[in-house]
Amino acid sequence: MNRAVLFLISAPSGGGKTTVCNALLAANAGLRRVVTCTTRPPRPGEVNGVDYHFYSPEEFDRRVAAGEFLEHAHVYGKSYGTRKETVLELLNGGHDVLLNIDVQGAASVRRVVASDPVLSTALVTVFLTPRTRGELEQRLRGRGADSEEVVARRMQEASIEVARWKEFDYLVVSGTRSEDSSRMQAIYDAERLRRTRSDFEWKES
């Protein structure tokens, strides 16, 4: 029986999922990050094959048609996806896998795993969000990375995404970075300790 965890974290843009994912990876040697695929251009300092697999739109579409993705979505004019083969290789190798994807991608993952015994046993989903719209908007503006038009579009999308929080196994209402990381770690630890993931055998001596 495969006992690995497929730990999926989702949040609206600016919700803090990248920060908590980095903290989990730093604290858990057995947790692996999947390098996802995208058609957006690399940002300064990003390395192909390390941060993302950067594909042209044509290459991405070819891989979609070939059924290579566990999930794929079109977000803010660019395509993103996670290769199913990569995830299964890690899980079958006994590694826990961390997915940092948006709400659209999470919905796609749930649809795919329903018919796959390894993935369905492994999957654990968490939704992370600030408590208020104002707090999320403040975080987006604080990054200083987006135009007013982009911020407005992200906030519009966030209202739709947050409304879907009940689709996830866990909800973490964001506080400080330390609080968010601690709560995510607690969920991960609890899932690792599930009876169904244990190979415990009582020994008399």
Within-domain flag for 56 = yes
Query: pLDDT per residue over 10-37, tens digit each?
Result: 999 878 899 999 999 999 999 999 988 9
Confidence of residue 144 (pLDDT cuts 50, 70, 90): low
Residue type, 145: A
Within-domain flag for 198 = no
The sign of the torsion formed by the CA atoms of 175, 181, 187, 190 equals negative
In this structure, how many other beta carbons lie within 10 angstroms of the beta carbon of residue 123?
22
Which residue in 56, 9, 15, 16 sits closest to 37, CA to CA? Answer: 56
> What Cα–Cα distance (Å) separates residue 12 from each residue in 56, 59, 80, 168?
25, 27, 15, 13
Query: pLDDT per residue over 42-62, tens digit each?
Result: 989 999 999 899 999 999 999
Query: pLDDT per residue over 146-196, tens digit each?
Result: 677 878 887 888 899 999 999 999 999 999 999 999 999 999 999 999 998
Phi, psi of 36 (to 5 degrees): -90, 175
The number of residues making up the chain comes to 205
Which residue in 192, 38, 51, 41 sits closest to 102, CA to CA? Answer: 38
Residue 118 maps to which CATH number? Answer: 3.40.50.300
Domain extent at residue 116? 6-193
Within-domain flag for 199 = no
Within-domain flag for 203 = no
Within-domain flag for 108 = yes
The residue to which tokens 């590694």 are assigned = 95
- Bridge partners of residue 173, in order along the sequence: 129
The number of folded domains in the chain is 1
The residue to which tokens 């989702």 are assigned = 10
Within-domain flag for 179 = yes
* CA angle, residues 123, 125, 128, in degrees to nearest 5: 160
Within-domain flag for 1 = no
Confidence of residue 136 (pLDDT cuts 50, 70, 90): confident
What order of strands is seen across the sheet that includes strand 69-75? Answer: 53-54, 37-38, 78-83, 69-75
